[in-house]
Amino acid sequence: MLKDQLKALEQEVQAALDAATDDVALEGIRLRFLGRSGEITNVRKSIGTLAPAERPEAGKAINTAAAALEARIEAARHGLALKQLHERLAERIDVTFPALPARMGSLHPIRRALEDACGYLQRLGFAVVLGNEVETERYNFDALNIPADHPAREGLDSFYLRPGVLLRTHTSPMQVRTMEAVPPPLAVVVPGKAYRRDAIDARHSPMFHQIEGLLVAPGIHLGHLKGTLTGLLRELFGASQAVRFRPSFFPFTEPSAEVDTTCPGCGGSGCKTCGGSGWIEVGGAGMVHPDVLRNAGYDPTAVQGWAFGIGIDRIVMVRHDVDDIRVLFENDPRVLATLR
């Protein structure tokens, strides 16, 4: 009879609960008796063999039995949790046992490099200026003399948020924004993040850090730029650093140059870090293009200026002998402990 069958299941469940010692065993009991293919389901299937008049009462009896079994299992789960809690509270702790050493925090190596670079330029009289990471095409491209057909303006190279608005691809927009707000002379350094659609690998990341330097005043020339960069790179790498300019092209400077410094790893004699050349590339620089000065409201016949952009991530990799840029962004606390 159905009543006897349900009574037998109740006794079987109770016996299993009495033998259970952990949550895994309790979950196994629940699945065995109340699961989709469990014993209660099998009993429900037998309702079809009863007379139509008996089926409603049989269904009620099965539902009542299932609810009672589920309550027993939950009560056993609660009792087991209390037992485990009491066992933990009864544990004795030796308060004289030495504790684990505290993990000390530190500045991220990128942050330290940014502070070192900005600190040096501040001592020379440069003001630190921060800019928005979301920029308009006018400041990111147009005002910097970057033509409409330049590849960098395509969606394949830049992160556009909507037409005419994008994540800045360099820190250079602050050149024009600052010149629009401040009359010459001026000297500013702009640290910050920039974004480009680069594939992630050991040398590239779609988000990276730059430091931008800008000096505008009457009589400024490339000699001032080379002297400033030499001092900056000696601040970052050591007193023996030398700097060389290689002719290049940037739409916002004329003349333009790629900037190299002697490899800190070998002192210029050649090693794997510099590929045997004795030099490493750190960024680009040049005299501010007259059109950029005009776009900012300056008179290029009265003042001249220079600007440079240095990739701080590359600086950090060389300073700490890191061969994979992803190490700097993976949020591993061991990086802060080892790259001091």
> How many Cβ atoms from other residues are within 10 Å of residue 179's Cβ?
24
Task: Determine the pLDDT at residue 193.
Answer: 94
Residue 340 scores a pLDDT above 80 = no
246 and 319 fall within a common domain: yes
- What whole-number percentage of the chain has pLDDT above 70? 99
The pTM of the full predicted model, rounded to 2 decimals, is: 0.68
Element (H, E) at 141: none
Residue 303 token pair? 């003042």
Contact 336, 316 (CB under 8 A): no
Domain boundary among the residues 89, 120, 138 is at 89
Nearest-CA neighbor of 144 among 120, 169, 118, 119? 169
Where in the sequence is the domain holding 11, given as residue range(s)? 2-89
254 and 303 fall within a common domain: yes
Q: Kindly report, residue by residue over 177-203, the tens digit of the pLDDT.
A: 999 999 999 999 999 999 998 888 887
Domain assignment present for 104:
no
Domain assignment present for 95:
no
237 and 209 fall within a common domain: yes
Domain assignment present for 137:
yes
161 and 302 fall within a common domain: yes
119 and 192 fall within a common domain: yes
Contact 298, 179 (CB under 8 A): yes
Residue 15 scores a pLDDT above 90 = no
CA distances (Å), 316 to each of 4, 33, 92, 110, in order?
Answer: 77, 61, 48, 6
Domain assignment present for 97:
no
- 136: β partners: 165
Task: Determine the pLDDT at residue 99.
Answer: 83
SS3 13: helix
CA distance linking residue 73 with residue 67, whole number of Å: 10
156 and 34 fall within a common domain: no
CA dihedral (165, 169, 173, 174) positive or negative: positive
Task: Determine the pLDDT at residue 119.
Answer: 95
Q: Kindly report, residue by residue over 275-289, the tens digit of the pLDDT.
A: 788 888 889 999 999
CA distance linking residue 310 with residue 36, whole number of Å: 64
What confidence tier does 251 reach under pLDDT thresholds 50, 70, 90? very high
Domain assignment present for 258:
yes
Q: Kindly report, residue by residue over 165-178, the tens digit of the pLDDT.
A: 999 999 999 999 99
Q: Kindly report, residue by residue over 37-93, the tens digit of the pLDDT.
A: 788 887 787 777 778 877 788 778 878 888 888 888 888 888 888 888 888 888 887
115 and 195 fall within a common domain: yes
- Split into its structural domains, the chain has a count of 2
- 245: β partners: 259
Q: Residue 29 contacts by C-beta under 8 Å, 6 or more apart in sequence?
A: 13, 16, 17, 20, 73
Domain assignment present for 127:
yes
